[in-house]
Amino acid sequence: MAVERGRGRVTASLESAMVARRFYLANKQKNEIAEELGISRFKVARLLDEARESGIVRIQIDVPTEIDLDLGEKVAQRFHVRRVLAARTLDEDPESLSAVVGAAAAQHLSNILGATDMLGISWGRALTSTVDAFSTRSATSVVQLAGGINARDSDIGGVELVRRMAAKTGGKPYPLHAPFLVGSAEMARELRGDPSLADTVSVFGSLTVAAVGVGAWDPPSSAVFNELTASERSDLASLRTTADICGIVFDDEGQVVTSPLTERVVGITLDELRRVPEIIAIAGGRDKVAAIAAGLRSGLVSTLVTDTDTARHLLRV
């Protein structure tokens, strides 16, 4: 009897292995396997379960070595966001760090974008690095989220960045030919309604993914901050302004800072941005830890792409 039981186990193992090979290696459907072997679909499912439980099938998930998955999950849980991708880097030089974070963001975008998606992007060093590293022909349309700024040497203006990204995806570019900050809230509203911007503004409500930078206010590393007078900066600082995303400013708790200044921004509104299903913040560096934390606390961001050093500091704030 012992021999018979042993033979039964061997037969079951062989049958499980046969089913597993056809399912995992030949990519056959369960109903196909059932028909070929003359068994029920339910038995195929049971044999696949047995193959995993017995160790015949061992599933290994290879995480890219440049991403620290465990650290990212801890930060995601800490701030209650969907995911955090923490790219490993040994160099704290801003240019090197930006390149590493941008490459990780480009890979993530390559994995999620398709022809039916509409991607909104802001501008800045991290977004420039992301566009530089992106290489997937996804046919995704690309939309500029906010008007143009006085780009620094390391940055590319929003219109050019959108065109570069659209050239890589093969999708349609939607540039926003307007300044980022204008003289009054009334002027900003008029520009948003101008026929020359209508094509871009009209698709804000159709965005499926937004890739955005995070501006920091202490120390200042923000397009909004750089566009302001000393008096305007002082006024916003008194409101504990810590971060900005697409011209929307937040305090250290992630609450939106209400100011007449923010109404002068030409670009996507907070309500429009909140309706985007996937908002990816791309930012890193110790000088941006407080700003990134504020952005995560706002509830606006669903995914953060950063570096491991920044991620570790985020766990301490």
* Each residue's pLDDT tens digit, 226-272: 778 788 888 888 889 999 999 899 999 999 998 877 788 899 999 99
- Whether 63 is in a domain gets the answer no
* Pair of tokens at residue 240: 């504990």
User: Does residue 154 register a pLDDT over 50?
Assistant: no
Is residue 22 located within the same domain as residue 119? no
Please tell me the distance from the alpha carbon of residue 139 to that of residue 116, in angstroms, as a whole number.
8
Is residue 43 located within the same domain as residue 150? no
- Whether 230 is in a domain gets the answer yes
- Whether 178 is in a domain gets the answer yes
Is residue 167 located within the same domain as residue 92? yes
- Whether 220 is in a domain gets the answer yes
- Whether 64 is in a domain gets the answer no
Is residue 141 located within the same domain as residue 278? yes
Of 17-26, 41-50, 288-297, which one has max mean pLDDT? 288-297
- Whether 191 is in a domain gets the answer yes
CATH classification at residue 29: 1.10.10
Is residue 135 located within the same domain as residue 18? no
User: Does residue 112 register a pLDDT over 90?
Assistant: yes
Question: What is the residue type of 87?
Answer: A
Is residue 224 located within the same domain as residue 85? yes
215-217 vs 141-144, strand pairing mode: unpaired
Is residue 28 located within the same domain as residue 94? no
Is residue 42 located within the same domain as residue 122? no
Q: Taking a C-beta distance cutoff of 8 angstroms, is the pair 82, 76 a contact?
A: yes
Beta pairing partners, 118? 141
Is residue 73 located within the same domain as residue 189? yes
Domain count, the chain: 2
User: Ramachandran region of residue 88, left (φ > 0), alpha (ψ -120 to 50) or beta?
Assistant: beta
Nearest of 57, 52, 18, 24 to residue 38 by alpha carbon: 18
Is residue 222 located within the same domain as residue 76? yes
215-217 vs 241-245, strand pairing mode: antiparallel
- Whether 61 is in a domain gets the answer no
Question: What is the residue type of 26?
Answer: A
CATH classification at residue 110: 3.40.50.1360
Boundaries of domain holding 6: 2-54
pLDDT interval class at 153 (50, 70, 90) = very low
Is residue 37 located within the same domain as residue 160? no
